[in-house]
Amino acid sequence: MSTDTAALDAERDRIRATHLKPVGERPASTARGLHHTALVSSDVERTVRFYQDVLGFPLTELIENRDYPGSSHFFFDIGNGNLLAFFDFPGLDIGPYAEVLGGLHHIAISVEQSTWDEIVARLTEAGVEHEVHSGVSVYFRDPDGARVELIADPLGEMYGHHVL
């Protein structure tokens, strides 16, 4: 990565000036919302225990993956009509989580501040390594290494910036 921060700042400013329209001038999105994000699980029950018992996201369905017989496709309610989904792929030798271009850096899920405090305590009780930022954001890895952020900022805001 380039360390010429002035050049990086200038490029960010150029992109912002070219593409970012003021709130009142932005067209409506063509999307209804994010139906689900799907990750890969190496152990269905361990994943359910983590996301449901530690994080408090209820399991909503567990079905066979239509694209891979024997594989499970399962879903968690992460609020506001949004789902976090997983697949397992028994018998396939899938390597560990890795950050790659075009891949996933992290998933950020919004929770109320009081819930955030409770979940951070449960992460500690469960021995899950985590890193707190600014008292509203906590980063940790799930049992398969996917990076998750829980953020207490309201939807559409991030660290005092309106992002929606």
**Over the stretch 98-155, which tens digit does the pLDDT of each residue have?**
777 777 889 999 999 999 999 999 999 999 999 999 999 999 999 999 999 999 998 9
Nearest in space to 155 (alpha carbons), one of 110, 115, 116: 110
- pTM for this model (two decimals): 0.85
SS3 (DSSP) at 45: helix
Mean pLDDT in residue range 41-67: 96
Question: What CATH class does 33-90+105-162 carry?
Answer: alpha beta
Contacts 24+ apart (CB under 8 A), 121-126: 122/54, 122/55, 122/56, 123/54, 126/54
